[in-house]
Amino acid sequence: MRHRAIRPEPLFFELNPRRVRRQGYMLPTLDVPPVEPARVLPANLVRDPDPHFPDIGEMEVVQHFHRLSQLNYAVDEGLYPLGSCTMKYNPRINEQTARLPGFASIHPLQPVAQIQGALRLIWELEEALKTITGMPGVTLQPAAGAHGELTGILMIRKALSTRGDPREVVLVPDSAHGTNPATASFAGYRAVEIASADDGTIDLGALEKMMDDTVAAIMLTVPNTLGVFEHRIVEISKIVHDRGGFIYLDGANLNAFAGRALPGLMGADAMHINLHKTFSTPHGGGGPGAGPVTVSEALLPHLPVPRVVRTGDDYELLWEDPESIGPMRGFYGNFLILVRALTYIRSLGAEGLRTMSDVAVLYANLVRHRLSGAYHLKYDAPSMHEVVFDDSRQARHEVHNTDIAKRLLDYGFHPPTMSFPLIVHGALMIEPAESVAPEEVEAFCDAMLAIAKEAEENPELVKTAPHDTPVGRVDEVRAARDLKVRWMPEDDGA
Amino acid sequence: MSLPAELLYGRSHEWIRVEGDAVVIGITNYAQDQLGEVVYVELPEVGTGVATGEELGTLESVKAVSEFLAPVGGEVIGVNERLEDEPNLVNEDPYGAGWLVKISGSAEGEDFLDAEAYQQFLEQESG
């Protein structure tokens, strides 16, 4: 068990429950006559009842948040095996470059002559991503993966309407990221599900039948959410392209093959890249992220504006282009995330990026090798960067994936992704990512094996976990059905 | 739980009960068990037209959000409003008080299983 604070921590509003008057700072004595807020402000601007901020001293505030930080789990603490999320280490040098004043202290409305370095960085990152994907164009604007998806699908839509062939349907595999059908709907298409074959990849027969002149695009994740490489991707692209459709690749899993395979050669027309997954910029905490989209020749004219254009050694911004889908975000996206991503790419170099992907795949296969005796694998196709087990063996003892995840907390690990992809019932989706030491991956496997043993010998121990955390098993059903999103004074029992 | 013999079953785990010119739709005990505790049910509006196989609504459990499909096409003529406050009925009484939607339409020509055939289908699925 790792060292951490195990006292239950009250809510901020519950500090100082006896309401003893104390404060962190003394305000100067009031030297004007006091005024009742209700007399000078409109009624809707006056808080009633009193918001009830607790009276607490500075040190109490510091201790409160410090203790909360100790209860957190972070990439800097240990393996964070969230499948499909790629929780990798953000090297400290990324933070140094992102804090350089020439990057951190500039303003988007500054004249381009004063921000040549920043524009050059954008241009160089674009070039790097084009090389890594083998695709001729890219936009860095989208703020996250799903935003990248929308950007890509809107470019496809524009290309189809430009050629006078508007279509209605986007095909999405049943193993897709949930954002894929949402993107299709949001862009005005109907998302139609396409079934997986027995090995977890796309069923070519089903695709042959469904691919007609109403289908605008197919959205594919490569490798897919089972961690399985879509090995017939070139055939899939041919079928779709021959019938006038486009290939959208969800590049959330690019970290499995960067430096080893080129999406451009697979036939991709648009692909988003999660810089916060593959290229180590911080992931979690709600962002900011970045979801650049690389495009094929066919979509080049429709890239968002503004675009960075290089003439000799000078960089400019192109704001107008009638063929463009227009801006997808203010200015150039989350710029400081772009700084971090280019730092990572330049730190590793081509050889380093290849090793990154190789180790990500090696670690997933290490987990697969160590755990497949204890946990059931529904799809046994070769694994890339993640591996999806299910809880069917443990379910015989009434132990389910939730229980296994909770028990992992007692062993000091963050649980893997659960109950996704939906085609695997009771899924445990594990992605170690390449940044940790191999001993950390082994320690995680040891914990998983110990839990599998407990599930057989003492299932109650697993079903009532966690035992060593300040808060035990929470009632997730009640939390969802009886939702309280705001603390109210009457809740504190005072 | 045994399967009610008077119902017909779809391969995506919906059941239907024919009531004159209408069919009542729900999900099977197997489906609710796979979903886990349902915390929210999103139902279509009365008057909505749907084709067979189209999404009718969504069921949200603590694990995932799943859509349920229209086993027959037609017009939505009733929804189970109790589910708004009591989504747990889907888990507790899937073939009774946990029904989802009523559609004016016919099961004629659609490919349904009877209780015995659905039972066999379930055994194959889990095998």
Residues of B in contact with A422 (CB under 8 A): 64, 66
HEC secondary structure over chain A: CCCCCCCCCCCHHHCCCCCCCCCCCCCCCCCCCCCCHHHHCCHHHCCCCCCCCCCCCHHHHHHHHHHHHHHCCCCCCCCCCECCCCCCCCCHHHHHHHCCHHHHCCCCCCCHHHHHHHHHHHHHHHHHHHHHHCCCEEECCCCCHHHHHHHHHHHHHHHHHHCCCCCCEEEEECCCCCHHHHHHHHCCCEEEEECECCCCCECHHHHHHHCCCCEEEEEEECCCCCCCCCCCHHHHHHHHHHCCCEEEEEHHHHHHCCCCCCHHHHCCCEEECCHHHHCCCCCCCCCCCCCCEEECHHHHHHCCCCEEEEECCEEEEECCCCCCCCCCCCCCCCHHHHHHHHHHHHHHHHHHHHHHHHHHHHHHHHHHHHHCCCCEECCCCCCCCCEEEECHHHHCCCCCHHHHHHHHHHCCCCCCEECCCCCCCCEEEECCCCCCCHHHHHHHHHHHHHHHHHHHHCHHHHHCCCCCCCCCCCCHHHHHHCCCCCCCHHHHCC
Mean pLDDT of A333-356: 96
Residue A380, pLDDT score:
87
Pick B62's closest partner by Cβ from A178, A422, A477: A477
For A428, nearest residue in chain B (alpha carbons)? B63
Residue A480 to residue B66, Cβ atoms within 8 A: no
What is the 8-class DSSP label of residue B38?
E
Q: Which residues pair with B101 in a beta bridge?
A: B25, B79
**How far is B109 from B71, CA to CA, in rounded Å?**
11
Answer whether B64 sits within 8 Å of A419, measured CB to CB. Answer: yes
Residue A405: predicted pLDDT: 97
Chain A: give the shortest CA distance to residue B39, in Å.
5
- Which tokens sit at B31? 């489906």
The model's pLDDT over A38-64, given as tens digits with 9 standing for 90+, comes to: 899 999 998 877 777 788 899 999 999
Class of residue A400 by CB neighbours under 10 A (exposed 0-12, middle 13-18, buried 19+):
buried
Residue A280 has pLDDT above 80, yes or no: yes
In B39-78, the residues whose Cβ lies within 8 Å of chain A are 39-40, 60, 62-66
CB B24 within 8 A of CB B17: yes
Cβ contacts of A402 on chain B, cutoff 8 Å: 63
pLDDT of A273 > 80? The answer is yes
Convert the pLDDT of each residue in B2-54 to its tens digit: 799 999 999 889 999 999 899 999 999 999 988 889 999 999 999 999 998 88
Which long-range contacts (C-beta less than 8 Å, at least 24 apart) are formed by A35-38?
A: none
Instruction: Say which of B60, B62, B64 has its CB closest to residue A422.
Output: B64
Query: What share of chain A in percent tops pLDDT 90?
Result: 74
Give tens-digit pLDDT for B71-93. 999 999 999 999 999 999 999 99
Q: Return the minimum-mean-pLDDT range out of A29-33, A342-346, A452-456.
A: A29-33
**A250: how many CB neighbours lie within 10 A of its CB?**
28
What phi-psi label fits residue A407: left (phi over 0), alpha (psi between -120 and 50 degrees) or beta? Answer: alpha
Q: Return the half-sphere exposure (C-beta side, CA atoms, 13 A cut-off) of residue A418.
A: 17
For residues B17-27, one letter each, b for 16 or more C-beta atoms within 10 angstroms of the residue's C-beta and e for the rest, the string is bbeeebbbbbb
> Which element (helix H / strand E) includes B76?
strand B74-79
Has the ipTM of the complex gone over 0.95? no
Q: What are phi and psi of B104, to 5 degrees?
A: -85, 110
Using the predicted structure, report yes or no on whether residue A248 has a pLDDT greater than 50. Answer: yes
Sign of CA dihedral A335, A341, A346, A350: negative
> What does the CA dihedral A36, A39, A44, A46 come to, rounded to 10 degrees?
0
Q: How many CB atoms lie within 10 A of CB A207?
A: 20
Domain ranges of chain A: 92-347
Q: With 80 as the cut, is the pLDDT of residue A27 above it?
A: yes
Residues of A in contact with B37 (CB under 8 A): 477
Q: Which of A392, A423, A477 best probes binding to B when mutated, by most B CB atoms within 10 angstroms?
A: A477
Asked if omega into A288 is within 30° of 0 (cis), the reply is yes
Architecture of domain A92-347: 3-Layer(aba) Sandwich (3.40)
Question: From B35, which residue of chain A is nearest by alpha-carbon distance?
Answer: A425
From the list A178, A422, A480, the residue facing B39 with the nearest CB is: A480
pLDDT value of residue A80? 95
More reliable by pLDDT, A24 or A441: A441
- Residue A285: the pLDDT is 58
How much of chain A exceeds pLDDT 70, in percent?
97
Look at residue A241 in the predicted model and tell me its pLDDT.
98
pLDDT at A22 over 90: no
Residues of B in contact with A420 (CB under 8 A): 64
Domain covering B8-126: architecture: Beta Barrel (2.40)
A253 conformational bin, left if phi > 0, alpha if psi -120 to 50, beta if neither: alpha
Q: Dump pLDDT digits (tens) for A131-164.
A: 999 999 999 999 999 999 999 999 999 999 999 9
Q: What mean pLDDT is reported for chain A?
A: 92
Instruction: Check: CB of residue A207 under 8 Å from CB of residue A172.
Output: no
What is the pLDDT averaged over residues A81-97?
93
Whether the pLDDT of residue A6 is over 70: the answer is no
Digit-coded pLDDT (tens) for A418-442: 988 888 889 999 999 999 999 999 9
Q: Given a cut of 90, is residue A124 above it in pLDDT?
A: yes
Count Cβ neighbours within 10 Å for each residue of A215-228 and write b for 16 or more, e otherwise: bbbbbbbbbbbbbb
Give every CB contact of residue B114 below 8 A, 6+ residues apart in sequence.
B5, B8, B9
Q: Which residues of B touch A428 (CB under 8 A)?
A: none
Decide if pLDDT at A217 tops 70: yes
Q: What is the mean pLDDT of residues A367-392?
A: 95
By Cβ distance, the residue of A402, A425, A477 closest to B34 is: A425
Q: Say how far residue B49 (Cα) sits from the centre of its chain.
A: 17
* pLDDT band per the 50, 70, 90 thresholds, residue A1: very low
The pLDDT of residue A493 is above 70? no
Domain boundaries, chain B: 8-126
Q: Count Cβ atoms below 10 Å from residue B65 Cβ, excluding itself.
A: 14
Would you mind telling me the total number of residues written for chain A in this entry?
494
- Which chain B residues are Cβ-neighbours of A476 within 8 angstroms? 62
Chain A / chain B CB contacts < 8 angstroms: 21
Pairing mode, if any, of strands A246-250 and A215-221? parallel
Of residues B109 and B118, the one with the higher pLDDT is B118
Cα dist from A56 to A15, A48, A358, A408, whole Å: 7, 22, 52, 36
Which of the residues B62, B88, B126 would you substitute to probe the A interface, choosing the one with the greatest number of A C-beta atoms within 10 Å?
Answer: B62
| Residue in A371, A342, A362, A448 with CA at minimum distance from that of residue A405 | A448
CA gap A465, A431 in Å, rounded? 23
- Contact check, Cβ <8 Å, B62/A425: no
- pLDDT the model gives residue B9: 95
Residue of A420, A473, A476, A478 for testing the chain B interface, max B β-carbons within 10 Å:
A476
**B88-113 pLDDT per residue, tens:** 999 999 999 999 999 998 877 778 99
**A328 vs chain B: nearest CA distance in angstroms?**
28
The answer on pLDDT for A492 being more than 90 is no
Among the ranges given (A172-176, A372-376, A482-486), the one the predictor scored with the smallest mean pLDDT: A482-486
Q: Is the pLDDT of residue A102 over 60?
A: yes
Q: Does the distance separating the beta carbons of A481 and B63 come in below 8 Å?
A: no
CA-closest candidate to residue A243, choices A198, A212, A279: A212
CA distance A423 to A386: 16
What average pLDDT does the segment A276-305 reach? 90
pLDDT attached to residue A485: 84
Q: What is the mean pLDDT of residues A464-488?
A: 87
Nearest-CA distance B91 → chain A (Å):
12
Cα A234 to Cα A224: distance, rounded to the nearest angstrom: 15
Give the mean pLDDT of A340-351.
97
Nearest residue in chain A measured CA to CA from B87: A481
